[in-house]
Structures are given as structure tokens and as C-alpha cells.
């Protein structure tokens, strides 16, 4: 007589094997669905109130207020005229560009964020735009800024082509993205461009983002007649955190 409980049973092994395989498959399908469903604009639209509060909290965003924003303001110090803050969110950064020699507009594809921006900063003209960079205005600009927007954009060439058409000849586009030396950690090899998933905010949500080397960014911008004129790396505890780039329309 044999005691089955102590013997290796191929049927049991098969069941456990397939249950584990099934669980892994379900997990990956769910994960993939989450990635596909939550697009960045929908995310910012849904969490607009929370994001707006966080974005205006100088303590919680010390790095942005003390290091990154001053870097971008310094890079654009000498530029006057019409300014557009593309992907302006709640408009916290747009207001910092206001000066007597500038007229500032802001735009964002999230209607909820745009509503908050309009209520909070009434002296600025907030206008609609879509996530392809089509802005609802006939104006052209001396300076377009895009702080922490382009790493959410997969088809950056489309946005750059649309934004470039809104920049005056000799005008500038200034942008800030997570530094590629930092985002490179999501990949095993030194790739020029690749999508990764990372947590955003403190809500336990993840979004798809795009890693691009400076070289890759330079090519994309050159294709839209935008020439890189200044590059600044902003450090946090001696580690590169932001890549800030000023480009000029040829
Ligand atoms: C991290 S927030 C930055 C907001 C603001 N620029 C700032 O620094 O406070 C990202 C913003 O980019 C916007 N955004 C995401 N994808 C975009 C796209 N394809 N085109 C324009 N804006 C986009 C979001 O709606 C959100 O307002």
C-alpha cells in the first residue's frame, strides 16, 4: 500500500504549475490594462485638485521651487515679449514669468487643471490645447516653456512640429525633463529612447513615461527647426535630477 500524500504526483504538479502560470498571466494583463488606460492627461484631469494643492506647496516641492524653477527663470531671463506655458497645470509656474515686458499665456489639455489655473491666476490668459500640441490661438510666441511635460509624450515629433509653428522666427522653446542619467536606470542597456513605467505623485499610481537621451532630444528638436543653445543639469544631492534645455527657432 502506498501513501499518496507523501508521493510525488504529476497531476498535482501540473495543477500547481498551471495555477501559478494563470496567476502570472492575469497579473500581467491587469498591469498592461492599467498602463494603457491611465493616460497622463486623464490622470492629471482626475487628480487636478490634489495635484494643484501639491504643486503650490513650496515645502513639499522644495527641489522645484529652490532649484529647478530658478534655473529655468535664469535661462529665460533675457527673453521678452509673448510667453506661452505649455502643459501649465495649475499655472503655478506661469505666474513666475509675468513681468512688465512680457505677456504670459498658459495652456493645458486638462480642463480641470485649466479651471483651477483660471481661478487662481486671473491676470493670465489660460487657453485650451490638445495633447498633440495644437493650441487654440492665432498668436505666435517669443518663448514657449514646457516644464515636466515632454517625458509624458510618446509622439514628441508631432508636438514639437505644432509648437514650432507657434514660435516666432528667432524665438525660443525652453523645456525641463527628468534627467536621462536618472531615467536610464529603467533599462539594461544604453538606449536612446524607451518607455518606462514609474510612480507619479503620492497616490500609488503609475504612468508610462519616456526616457530620451540628450542626443535623441537634439535630433527631434532639430527636425522641427529648433536648435539647442543652452543645456543645464540641475542636481539634487549631487545627482542629476533635471535636464533643462533652451532651444531657438531657426
Ligand atoms: C507634472 S505636470 C507639470 C505642470 C506644470 N508644467 C508645472 O511644472 O507645474 C504635467 C502636466 O503636463 C500636462 N500634459 C501631459 N501630457 C501632455 C501633452 N501631451 N500635451 C500637453 N500637456 C500635457 C498635464 O496635463 C499636466 O498639467
Whole-number Å distance, alpha carbon 234 to ligand 1 midpoint, is: 20
Residues lining ligand 1, CB < 6 A?
Answer: 40-41, 44, 55, 87-89, 92-93, 108-110, 113, 131, 147-149, 152-153
pLDDT at 205: 80
Q: What is the pLDDT along the chain (250 residues), one digit of tens a residue?
A: 444 445 556 666 566 665 666 665 555 544 444 444 468 999 999 999 999 999 999 999 999 999 999 999 999 999 999 999 999 999 999 999 999 999 999 999 999 999 999 999 999 999 999 999 999 999 999 999 999 999 999 999 999 999 999 999 999 999 999 999 999 999 999 999 999 999 887 667 889 999 999 999 999 999 999 999 999 999 999 999 999 999 999 9
pLDDT at 237: 96
pLDDT at 6: 52
Tell me the sheet residues that pair with 143. 83, 172
Whole-number Å distance, alpha carbon 225 to ligand 1 midpoint, is: 23
Three-state SS sequence of the chain = CCCHHHCCCHHHHHHHHHHHHHHHHHHHHHHHHHHHHCCHHHHHHHCHHHHHHHHCCCCCCHHHHHHHHHHHHHHCCCCCEEEEEECCCCCCCHHHHCCCCEEEEEEECCHHHHHHHHHHCCCCEEEEECCCCCECCCCCEEEEEEECCHHHCCCHHHHHHHHHCCEEEEEEEEEEEECHHHHHHHCCCCCCEEEEEEEECCCCEEEEEEEECHHHHHHHHHHCCEEEEEEEEEEECCEEEEEEEEEEEC
Angle at 150 between CA 55 and CA 42, to 5 degrees: 60
135, 180, 203, 204, 208 from 109: Cα distances, Å: 9, 25, 21, 23, 17
Whole-number Å distance, alpha carbon 24 to ligand 1 midpoint, is: 34
Task: Specify whether the CB–CB gap between 207 and 38 falls below 8 A.
Answer: yes
Q: Which CATH code fits 40-249?
A: 3.40.50.150
pLDDT at 92: 97
With the most atoms of ligand 1 within 8 angstroms of its CB, the residue from 57, 63, 108, 157 to mutate is 108
Neighbour tally for 6: CB within 10 Å:
6
pLDDT tens readout for residues 205-246: 889 999 999 999 999 999 999 999 999 999 999 999 999 999
With the most atoms of ligand 1 within 8 angstroms of its CB, the residue from 40, 95, 133 to mutate is 40
Amino acid at each position: 500500500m502506498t501513501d499518496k500524500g507523501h508521493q510525488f504526483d504529476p497531476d498535482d504538479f501540473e495543477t500547481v504549475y498551471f495555477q501559478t502560470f494563470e496567476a502570472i498571466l492575469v497579473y500581467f494583463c491587469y498591469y498592461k490594462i492599467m498602463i494603457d488606460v491611465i493616460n497622463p492627461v486623464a490622470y492629471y484631469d482626475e487628480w487636478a485638485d490634489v495635484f494643484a494643492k501639491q504643486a503650490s506647496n513650496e515645502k513639499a516641492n522644495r527641489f522645484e521651487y529652490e532649484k529647478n524653477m530658478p534655473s529655468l527663470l535664469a535661462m529665460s531671463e533675457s527673453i521678452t515679449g509673448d510667453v506661452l506655458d505649455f502643459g501649465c497645470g495649475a499655472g503655478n509656474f506661469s505666474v513666475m514669468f509675468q513681468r512688465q515686458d512680457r505677456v504670459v499665456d498658459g495652456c493645458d489639455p486638462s480642463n480641470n487643471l485649466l479651471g483651477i489655473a483660471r481661478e487662481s491666476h486671473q491676470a493670465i490668459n489660460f487657453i485650451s490645447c490638445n495633447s498633440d500640441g495644437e493650441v487654440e490661438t492665432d498668436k505666435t510666441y517669443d518663448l514657449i516653456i514646457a516644464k515636466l511635460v515632454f517625458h509624458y509624450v510618446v509622439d514628441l515629433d508631432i508636438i514639437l512640429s505644432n509648437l514650432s509653428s507657434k514660435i516666432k522666427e528667432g524665438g525660443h522653446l525652453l523645456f525641463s525633463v527628468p534627467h536621462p542619467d536618472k531615467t536610464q536606470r529603467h533599462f539594461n542597456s544604453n538606449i536612446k529612447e524607451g518607455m518606462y513605467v514609474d510612480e507619479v505623485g503620492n497616490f500609488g499610481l503609475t504612468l508610462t513615461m519616456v526616457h530620451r537621451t540628450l542626443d535623441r532630444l537634439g535630433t527631434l528638436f532639430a527636425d522641427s527647426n529648433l536648435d539647442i543653445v543652452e543645456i543645464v543639469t540641475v542636481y539634487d544631492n549631487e545627482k542629476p535630477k533635471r535636464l533643462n534645455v533652451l532651444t531657438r527657432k531657426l
